[in-house]
């Protein structure tokens, strides 16, 4: 039976649950693209079945931030997915802050170990700085999902080096997440 992966491409275009914007990049667009590339990789692999929260880059989920998050989690819970991966880009007032990190609800849990594999593979594949697995039990998508959930912060839109990676290497970020999943599950790539 295939492993069911729900990919949440964080945020929406526009004003409802909008993400960061910096250095000419729009977070929701990056999240959408990386999520679609990841879905393509997973769909080509018979070990996985995948669904995404957004099926179109213009799609807006919800009419408030709270309803947007609830819709995303509800889609995963109702499927039901085996694992939930929320894809994001980061921002900071200090443009020197850079790197990728993955957030989880609690330490030393299944999502924590999955996050380590995914983060290591992103860093190895893309060449971005490793900021580690971090705890944030307040994040809605981590505390309200009925399955192991991770929130991947690919890099900082506000850092010039990260922004260039996010602009030019979206397929590599997706491949890094895919490789992390393969490594975690002890699988070999099929393509």
The predicted pLDDT at position 138 comes to: 96
CATH number of the domain encompassing residue 30? 3.40.630.40
Per-position DSSP letters for 2-71, written without gaps between them: PEEEEEEE-SBSSSTTB--EETTEEHHHHHHHHHHHHHHHHHTSTTEEEEES-SSTT----SSHHHHHHH
The predicted pLDDT at position 190 comes to: 75
**pTM score of the predicted model:** 0.96
The predicted pLDDT at position 18 comes to: 84
64 lies in a domain? yes
23 lies in a domain? yes
Find the helix packing angle between 160-168 and 170-185, rounded to 10°: 80
Q: Report the number of distinct structural domains present in the chain.
A: 1
191 lies in a domain? no
The predicted pLDDT at position 191 comes to: 61
Q: Which residue ranges in the chain fall short of pLDDT 50?
A: none
The predicted pLDDT at position 158 comes to: 98
Please give the residue range of the domain that contains residue 45: 3-185
165 lies in a domain? yes
Per-position DSSP letters for 93-127, written without gaps between them: SSTT---EEEEESSTTSHHHHHHHHHHHHHHHHH-
190 lies in a domain? no
55-100 pLDDT, tens digit per residue, is 998 899 999 999 999 999 999 999 999 999 999 999 999 999 999 9
98 lies in a domain? yes
72 lies in a domain? yes
40 lies in a domain? yes
């Amino acid at each position: 039976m295939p492993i069911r992966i729900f990919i949440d491409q964080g945020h929406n275009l526009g004003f409802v649950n909008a993400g960061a914007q910096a250095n000419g990049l729009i977070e929701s667009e990056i999240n959408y693209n990386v999520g679609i590339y990841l879905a393509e990789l997973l769909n080509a692999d018979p070990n996985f079945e995948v669904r995404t929260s957004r099926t179109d880059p213009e799609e807006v989920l919800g009419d408030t931030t709270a309803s947007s998050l609830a819709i995303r989690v509800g889609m995963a819970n109702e499927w039901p997915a085996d694992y939930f991966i929320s894809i994001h880009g980061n921002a900071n007032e200090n443009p020197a802050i850079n790197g990728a990190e993955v957030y989880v609800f609690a330490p030393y849990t299944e999502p924590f170990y999955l996050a380590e594999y995914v983060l290591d593979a992103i860093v190895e594949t893309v060449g971005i700085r490793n900021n580690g697995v971090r705890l944030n039990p307040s994040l809605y998508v981590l505390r309200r999902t009925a399955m192991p959930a991770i929130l991947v912060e690919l890099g900082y839109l506000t850092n010039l080096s990260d922004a260039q990676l996010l602009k030019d290497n979206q397929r590599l970020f997706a491949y890094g997440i895919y490789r992390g999943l393969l490594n975690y599950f002890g699988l070999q790539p099929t393509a």
